[in-house]
Amino acid sequence: MSLKKIEKPFFSIVIPTRDRAFLLEGLINSIINQDFQDFEIIVADNSTDNLSQSFLADLKENNCIRNIRTGGLNMADNWDLAINAISGKFLLLFSDKMILKQGSLKFLKEFINTNHPDCVTWNIDVFIDRNSTYFDKSNKLNNRTISSEDLLKFILKSDMISFDSSAFHCNSAISYEVIKNIKSKTGRVCMQLNPDYTMSYQVLMNIDKIHLIGDSLSVLRYEDQNNGYGNGSSFMKKTSQASNFMKDNNDWVEKMKTFKDVPINGNHFILDLILKDLYFIMRLYEVNPDHIISKNIRNSYYYFFTLNEIYWRISMGIDMKQELDLWKSSLQNESKEIKVLVKKLIKRIMLKKFKILLVQFCKKSYFISPFLNFIRNIINTNKGTKYASIEDFYNNEIIK
């Protein structure tokens, strides 16, 4: 399909990518085959190989695609460079590890024309590449709004589920006016360490509310049931990729040592990384977190959610003994008020803790482990919908 370049498109679709041509191809095909064509695509190719460039060369007749070859940039710089090139009314920032559902752009344009939002977010479904299985993750709730103030309160309490309502890559449309305001205040939209989270926090600082769509418009791809394609998955599993990523961003690590709002020293939890970026952005905007939620409340919920993260990662077979010891020793030094509140909060996850530990014991059993894996595969397969391929899924799942 040959698409014409539009001078002032409705959507500017930014795709930062690095060495994942096999994913980039699926995403771009899911965009250019939409039934809505008022968009531009800006690819920021930060690859060390030429595979993505070879694929993009085959699409050179599609004038809607702007191919920016970068290379050697950190992730945040690559993302921000592409965002600076947009000319559309709304920014859609898409990771190469996703695809857009058929009919999504037309649906989104109609929603924006009806509701006139500054920012829209939606749910993200999951597709497992290894067995071509699709999982519907939409929450089935009606379209609604959430105030930026309320969402910021949830985020300050370390509630990772609430983050899904904010504007990230793969799930949001942000007006050009908001992007322009952000750049006028801080000079850039995406920053180290997490370009998507720093963008999300800045959006919250510049709008009153977010419009939430109950449907899922996009789909995140995973290698298999246990492995994603991103840095978050590698950090969670303590892989060499995660270690190298943190070494490459050692300047961020050193800078963040000045922040005392995250109780446990070091960067042992996923929450540590995203909260430090939050406090950095709040400092830039001169917003005092204590004026929103007291530090004791924030720290209490931090201990609750990091313990939840520990058990979650244990359930995936990750050795979290060091992190659990650090968690206990850090809490021991907290005030009585925090200890009492944390004790009340963790009662919620005691059953989860014993269930995880029991499953881990069974997994180590030579006789029980194969049976558990067999049952788990059956359950997971029955929860999803099987397709022949990612292309087959795209052709059959249509947003109306």
- The yes-or-no verdict on residue 52 having pLDDT over 80 is yes
**Percent of the residues in the chain that have a pLDDT greater than 70, as a whole number:** 90
61-82: pLDDT as tens digits: 888 999 999 999 999 999 999 9
pLDDT at 294: 96
Largest CA distance in the chain: 66
pLDDT at 233: 85
In whole angstroms, what is the distance from residue 175 CA to residue 278 CA? 21
**Percent of the residues in the chain that have a pLDDT greater than 90, as a whole number:** 74
Ranges 92-106, 196-210, 310-324: which has the least confidence: 310-324
Q: How confident is the model at residue 370 (pLDDT cuts 50, 70, 90)?
A: low
CB atoms within 10 A of CB 32: 17
- The yes-or-no verdict on residue 311 having pLDDT over 80 is yes
Q: How confident is the model at residue 137 (pLDDT cuts 50, 70, 90)?
A: confident
Q: Given phi > 0 = left and psi -120 to 50 = alpha, else beta, which region is 43?
A: beta
**CATH 3.90.550.10 residue spans of the chain:** 11-226
pLDDT at 276: 96
Please give the mean pLDDT across all residues of the chain: 90
Task: Compute the average pLDDT of residues 350-379.
Answer: 58
**Of the spans 5-9, 223-227, 327-331, 371-375, which averages the highest pLDDT?**
327-331
- The yes-or-no verdict on residue 96 having pLDDT over 90 is yes
3-state secondary structure 298-321: HHHHHHHHHHHHHHHHHHCCCCCH
251-309: pLDDT as tens digits: 999 999 888 899 999 999 999 999 999 999 999 999 999 999 999 999 999 999 999 89
In whole angstroms, what is the distance from residue 352 CA to residue 364 CA? 19
In whole angstroms, what is the distance from residue 182 CA to residue 178 CA? 6
What are phi and psi for residue 90, nearest 5 degrees? -135, 140
170-229: pLDDT as tens digits: 999 999 999 999 999 999 999 999 999 999 999 999 999 999 999 999 999 999 888 889
Helix (H, G, I), strand (E, B) or coil at 91: strand
The DSSP secondary structure of 106-118, one letter per residue, reads: HHHHHHHHHH--S
Count CA atoms within 13 Å of residue 399 on its CB side. 29
In whole angstroms, what is the distance from residue 264 CA to residue 261 CA? 9
pLDDT at 154: 95
C-beta of residue 167 within 8 angstroms of C-beta of residue 210: yes
Distances (CA, A) of 298 to 259, 263, 301, 331: 14, 10, 5, 13
Write out the CATH class of domain 11-226: alpha beta
Count CA atoms within 13 Å of residue 189 on its CB side. 27
Q: What is the pTM of this model?
A: 0.91
pLDDT at 2: 47
* Nearest alpha-carbon partner for 88 in 60, 122, 64: 64
